């Protein structure tokens, strides 16, 4: 494999000059530049990026932590992030925490080892205080999940509002017994706040809230199905359900219909996210602008890397949109 020295030798110049051509420094004469380019072409030379990273102390690589990719919310988030990153000349290292505290912390070594220029967290399995120390080693941006005590850029939605909007819609439709199902396992602020929004809306309407109406352990299509049977067998059956994702809603509706329920007459269901499946099923849902969320987070990251300033804790809050279809 050709090195920069080989190129220099071939062009009859020094390594310095070759490096200047590669990095488009000024002060290289046109004719020498041509010579170098010719030599690089002949030798099929490509700079060794590990050497570059070591010397430049920058890697043009950003890591994204997601719980798991089969959750469409996160795969769409990552898709957008990769697109923005590449446009700006960065690459994406993908890390799945699998909702696991330890896994998340293990991955932190990547930041410590200078392997990446920055880190985007889309969910946090550990409290911010566990993560904060790593800020020493490089910039961190929060996306989706958040913690207001964190002094880092954040792109997110006000999930209290999200929970409120959805619940309020069900209340407006005349429902009084409403079940809430959270979106994620773990200590995520997203779940906590969204549930707070649910509670707020219920209280405002003077409706009862009961622990057995709040679920926090079902997150997939399968989970939605299980959720249905839990409800189905309850004494005080709810008339409406606020689910943490469109997938849970879809699974739930599927199973409900199979058991002779009419939706929304016997059971109203509202989803969350507005994934393709929502339109397909005619699902009323609280839409999250996932693309804008991912784009914003990545841009905040890149700005921070390029400006080399840490500590500009800009917070960008994006809006929800209630999409009313046929399940409420």
Residue numbers at the binding site for DNA (CB under 7 A): 1, 3-5, 12-20, 22-23, 26-29, 31-32, 45-48, 51-52, 54-57
Q: Between residues 91 and 126, which has the closer beta carbon with respect to a second copy?
A: 91
Q: How many of the chain's residues bind a second copy (CB under 8 A)? A: 47
The DSSP string of 1-21 is ---HHHHHHHHTS-HHHHHHH
Within positions 105 to 134, which residues make up the interface with a second copy, using CB under 8 A?
A: 109-110, 112-115
**204, 257 in Cβ contact below 8 A?**
no
Q: What is the dihedral of CA 96, 141, 146, 250, to 10 degrees?
A: -40
Give the C-alpha distances (Å, rounded to integers) separating 271 from 23, 162, 183, 233, 320: 50, 11, 10, 22, 13
Q: Between residues 36 and 63, which has the closer beta carbon with respect to DNA?
A: 36
Binding flag, residue 3, a second copy (CB under 8 A): no
Q: Which stretch binds a second copy (CB under 8 A): 20-28, 185-193, 272-280, 313-321?
A: 272-280
Q: Which stretch binds a second copy (CB under 8 A): 14-22, 88-96, 175-183, 196-204?
A: 88-96
**310, 139 in Cβ contact below 8 A?**
yes
Separation of alpha carbons 212 and 123, rounded Å: 26
What is the smallest separation between the CB atom of 229 and DNA, expressed in angstroms? 54
The DSSP string of 88-118 is TT-EEEEEE-TT-HHHHHHHHHHHHTT--SE
Which of the choices a second copy, DNA, none does residue 149 contact, using the CB cut-off of 5 to 8 A by kind?
none
Separation of alpha carbons 286 and 180, rounded Å: 14
Closest-CA residue to 289 (of 123, 102, 80): 80
What is the smallest separation between the CB atom of 82 and a second copy, expressed in angstroms? 5
Q: Which two tokens stand for residue 174?
A: 């005349």
Q: Exposed/middle/buried for 197, CB within 10 Å: 0-12, 13-18, 19+?
A: buried
Within positions 202 to 221, which residues make up the interface with a second copy, using CB under 8 A?
A: 220-221
Q: Which of 7, 8, 36, 59 binds a second copy (CB under 8 A)?
A: 59
Q: Which of 125, 247, 273, 299 binds a second copy (CB under 8 A)?
A: 247
Binding site for a second copy (CB under 8 A): 1, 46-51, 53-54, 59, 61, 68-70, 72, 75-76, 78-79, 82-83, 86, 91-96, 98, 109-110, 112-115, 137, 220-222, 247, 250-251, 254, 276-277, 279-280
């Amino acid at each position: 494999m050709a090195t920069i020295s080989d190129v220099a030798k071939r062009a009859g110049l020094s390594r310095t000059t070759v490096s200047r051509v590669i990095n488009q420094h000024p002060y290289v004469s046109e004719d020498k530049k041509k010579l170098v380019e010719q030599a690089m072409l002949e030798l099929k030379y490509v700079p060794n990026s590990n050497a570059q990273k070591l010397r430049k102390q920058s890697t043009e690589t950003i890591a994204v932590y997601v719980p798991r990719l089969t959750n469409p919310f996160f795969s769409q988030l990552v898709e957008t992030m990769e697109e923005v990153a590449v446009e700006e000349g960065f690459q994406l290292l993908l890390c799945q925490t699998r909702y696991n505290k330890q896994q998340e912390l293990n991955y932190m070594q990547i930041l410590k080892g200078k392997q990446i220029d920055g880190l985007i967290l889309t969910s946090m399995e550990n409290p911010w205080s566990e993560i904060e120390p790593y800020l020493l080693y490089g910039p961190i941006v929060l996306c989706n999940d958040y913690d207001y005590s964190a002094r880092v850029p954040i792109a997110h939605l006000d999930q209290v509002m999200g929970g409120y909007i959805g619940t309020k819609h069900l209340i407006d439709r005349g429902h009084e017994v409403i079940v809430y199902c959270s979106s994620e396992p773990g200590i995520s602020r997203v779940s906590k706040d969204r549930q707070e929004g649910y509670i707020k809306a219920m209280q405002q309407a003077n409706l009862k809230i009961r622990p057995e109406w709040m679920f926090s352990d079902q997150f997939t299509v399968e989970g939605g199905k299980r959720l249905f049977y839990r409800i189905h067998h309850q004494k005080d059956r709810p008339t409406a359900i606020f689910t943490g994702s469109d997938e849970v809603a879809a699974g739930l509706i599927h199973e409900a219909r199979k058991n002779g329920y009419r939706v929304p007459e016997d059971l109203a269901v509202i989803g969350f996210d507005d994934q393709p499946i929502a339109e397909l099923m005619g699902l009323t849902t609280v839409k999250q602008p996932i693309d804008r969320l991912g784009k914003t987070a990545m841009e905040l990251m890149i700005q921070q890397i390029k400006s080399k300033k840490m500590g500009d804790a800009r917070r960008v809050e994006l809006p929800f949109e209630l999409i009313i279809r046929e399940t409420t």
